[in-house]
Amino acid sequence: MDDCNHVRLYKLFVILLNIVIAIVGLAMVGFGFTLRFGSETRGFFYINFETQQFVIGVTVLIVLGIILLVVAGVGHCVVCSGSRGGLRVYAPLVAVPAVLIMAIGAVTYIRSNEVGKQLAEFYRTVYLQYLNKGDPGLVNTLKLFHNALDCCGIGESLEPFIQDTCPKKDFLDFTMPSCPLAIEALFPSKASLILGCFIGTAVVMIIASISSRHLSGEISWSFSSPVDEYPPYPAMLPAEGGERHWYPAMSEMVPPEVKPKPAVPAKPPHVVPAPASALSPQGSGGGPPLLGYIGIDTIIQQMRKKTMKVGFDFNIMTVGHSGLGKSTLVNTLFKSQVSRRSSAWTYEKIPKTVEIRSVSHVIEEGGVKMKLTVTDTPGFGDQINNENCWEPVSKYINEQYEKFLKEEMNIARKKRIPDTRVHCCLYFISPTGHSLRQLDVEVMKRLSAVVNLVPVIAKSDTLTPEEKNEFKQRVRKELETSGIDFYPQREFDEDVEDKNENNKTREAMPFAVVGSDKEYQVNNKRVLGRKTPWGVVEVENPNHCEFTQLRDFLIRSHLQDLKEVTHNIYYETYRAKRLNDNGGLHPVTCSAATGVAESNV
C-alpha cells in the first residue's frame, strides 16, 4: 500500500472516531437539555433543595456534551484540511476531555452507593414538596419516577391525590414499593453499566488522539514548510573521509534546464515564468481535463524522500576584516561550532596576505543531512596596503566553478559531482555609523559579479537604534549608487509573489546583526546573547537586532534559491565564458578517465 492510501485510511478512521464522539456529545447535550427544560423535570430548577447536586450534575452533563461536540468539529476540520500542526494540537485537545470523562465515570462507580442515597433523598424532597404544597408543577416529575421505577411514595400511606401519580394496577389495595428503597437498590446495580459507557467514550477519544498523532506523522512536508518545528540545536556529525565526503545539491537531483549557447551573455539570463493557466489541474492551459487522480502531486514526496537519503550541500563564505565576529555569527546561525574560530583570549598573528580556509561538517536536523562548508578569509582588509585584496577571494570562487566544470566535462564523470561552489557570501560591514569604506565598495562590486552577495552590519549592538536606521539607509543608498547588485537581485524575481517578498527583504537589508554562542538566563529562560553592564543583548530578540531575519532569510526561505541562482546564473555565466574563450573544453579521454570509472564502480 502506498503512502497516499495509507494517509487516506488514517483520515477516514479519525473522521469515523470524530463522528462517534459527536454522537455521544449530542446525546449528552440532548439529555441534559431535556432534564433542564422538559415538562417533567424543569420544576427541579425552581425548588429550594438543601443540595444543588442535581442542578450541578445536569449543568456538567450539558457542558461536557458541548465540549465533545467542539472537539469533534475541530477534529473534522483539521483532518479534512490535512494540517500537520492542527493535528498535533488536536491530539492533546481530545485527550484532556477523555481523561475527564474517565475520571467522572470512575468516581461515579466508586461512590455508587452514596449517589444512590443522594438520589433517594432527592426524591423524598420532591415528594414532600408536592405533599405539603400541592405544587402541580411536580406532578409530571413524580409520574416520571413512579413509572420508571414501578414504585410510589416513601413507604407511608398514600393520599388520594398521590395515588393519581402512581402506576395503574389491577388491584387498588396493592401495596407499591417505596421509591427511595427502589432507587437505593437500583443505582448500585447499574453502576457497572454507567462506568462502561463513560470508559467506552473515553477510549474512543484516546484512540482518536493517538490516531491523529500518527496521521500528523504520515502527512508529508513540502520543501517550503515553515521551520517553527525545527529542533533548537541540530546534531553535528563529522564528515566521513574529510573533504572527500560529499552530498549532492538539490539542483543536481532534478533535470537541468536548457544550457545556453557558448557565448558570453551581456546579462545573466532571465527566465520568464509560464502563465498560471498552463499549470491548471483542469487542463485549461491547452491540455485535456483530468478524468481522475493520477498522482503527479507525489513528486514532492519522492524528491523529499530522496533528499533525506543523500542529503545536500550548502557552502557559505564570510568576508570582512578581523574582529567583526564572522566565525561567531556563522556558529550562531547553525547553533553548532561549525566555523573556524579565532580565539579572543590568545594572540593570533595576522596573515601577511589574504588566506582561504575552509572547514566542512555534516549537520543533521529532522532526518535531513546537510554538508555545510564554511570558508573564512583571514587577513582580508587587515593590511596597511589592501590593494587587490579581493583577488584571492574572487580567484577561489572561480576555481570552484572550474572544478565543477571539469567534472561535468569528463566522459566517465561521477554519478554525483561534488559541489564546492560558494552559494552565499556574507560580507561584514564595520558598524562605523558613517558610510562605507572605499575598500568595501570596491570589494562588493567585484564579488557581486561572481557570487550571491549578502551584506550585513556586524556588531550592531554598538549602535543606537537611530544610528542603526540611519546607517542602514546610507549603506543602501551607497550600494545603489555604486551599482552593487546584492542578493536577492531584482532581475531574478520570477513572479509577482517573489517580487513582493524580495522587495520587503531588500528594503530591510543590510541586516544589522549580533552573534553569540553564550547562553544567559533572562526571565527564567535560557537565551543566546551578549552580556553588557546594562543588560543582555538577546541575539534572537527582534527588538535587539535583526539576526532572526537573517537566519530566516538564509536558511528558512531562500536556501534553495541561493543554490539555484548559483547553478543557473553564476555558474552558467562562467561556463559559457569558458567555452566561448577556449573554443570548448576538451573532455577527458577514456584512458585518462579509466581510474575514475573504476573508482566509481
Write down the domain spans for the chain.
Answer: 3-218, 252-266+403-488+558-595
Contacts of 65 (CB under 8 A, 6+ apart): 24, 25, 26, 27, 28, 29, 30, 31, 32
292-300: long-range contacts, CB 8 A cutoff, minimum separation 24: 295/4, 298/3, 298/4, 300/220, 300/222, 300/223
Of the ranges 52-66, 271-285, 437-451, which one carries the lowest mean pLDDT score?
271-285
Name residue 393's amino acid.
V
The pLDDT score that the predictor gives to residue 469 is 93
Task: Give pLDDT tens digits for 467-480.
Answer: 999 999 999 999 99
Query: For residue 357, what are the β-bridge partners?
Result: 376
pLDDT over threshold 60, residue 481:
yes
pLDDT over threshold 70, residue 344:
no
The Cα 232–Cα 253 span in angstroms is 28
The cell for 522 is 533572562
Q: Locate cell 566565525: which residue?
A: 327
Binned at pLDDT 50, 70 and 90, residue 170 comes out as: low
- What is the arithmetic mean of pLDDT over 339-360? 67
The pLDDT score that the predictor gives to residue 306 is 83
The pLDDT score that the predictor gives to residue 251 is 37
The Cα 371–Cα 312 span in angstroms is 6
The pLDDT score that the predictor gives to residue 155 is 67
Q: Residue 551 in 3-state DSSP?
A: helix
pLDDT over threshold 90, residue 549:
yes
Q: Where are the alpha helices (DSSP H) in 82-163?
A: 84-110, 112-133, 139-149, 160-163
- What is the arithmetic mean of pLDDT over 539-563? 94
The pLDDT score that the predictor gives to residue 583 is 63
The pLDDT score that the predictor gives to residue 162 is 67
Neighbours of 120 (CB within 10 A): 21
Q: DSSP string covering 427-491, please?
A: EEEP--SS---HHHHHHHHHHTTTS-EEEEES-GGGS-HHHHHHHHHHHHHHHHHTT--PSSPGG
Q: Which has the higher per-residue pLDDT, 31 or 573?
A: 573
pLDDT over threshold 50, residue 220:
no
The Cα 82–Cα 496 span in angstroms is 27
The Cα 563–Cα 452 span in angstroms is 9
Q: Which has the higher per-residue pLDDT, 537 or 95?
A: 537
Angle in degrees, CA 486, 488, 489, rounded to 5? 70
Strands, sheet with 525-532, edge to edge from the N-terminal-most edge strand: 519-522, 525-532, 535-538
The pLDDT score that the predictor gives to residue 46 is 53
Phi, psi of 376 (to 5 degrees): -105, 160
Q: Which has the higher per-residue pLDDT, 424 or 274?
A: 424
The pLDDT score that the predictor gives to residue 338 is 79
- What is the arithmetic mean of pLDDT over 343-361? 70
- What is the arithmetic mean of pLDDT over 564-578? 95
Q: Residue 341 in 3-state DSSP?
A: coil
The pLDDT score that the predictor gives to residue 584 is 58
Q: Kindly report whether the global pTM for this prediction surpasses the value 0.75.
A: no
Sign of CA dihedral 550, 552, 553, 559: positive
CATH number corresponding to 252-266+403-488+558-595 = 3.40.50.300
pLDDT over threshold 80, residue 574:
yes
Binned at pLDDT 50, 70 and 90, residue 523 comes out as: confident
Query: For residue 375, what are the β-bridge partners?
Result: 317, 358
- What is the arithmetic mean of pLDDT over 394-406? 95
Which of 522, 475, 135, 461 minimizes the C-alpha distance to 329?
461
- What is the arithmetic mean of pLDDT over 430-440? 90
What is the overall mean pLDDT for the chain? 76
Phi, psi of 316 (to 5 degrees): -125, 140
Of the ranges 31-45, 56-70, 353-367, 522-536, which one carries the lowest mean pLDDT score?
31-45
Query: Which whole-number Å values give the CA distances from 441 to 161, 380, 407, in the listed order?
Result: 105, 14, 34
Mean pLDDT comparison of 47-56, 118-127, 197-206, 495-504, highest-scoring range: 495-504
DSSP state, 553? Answer: I
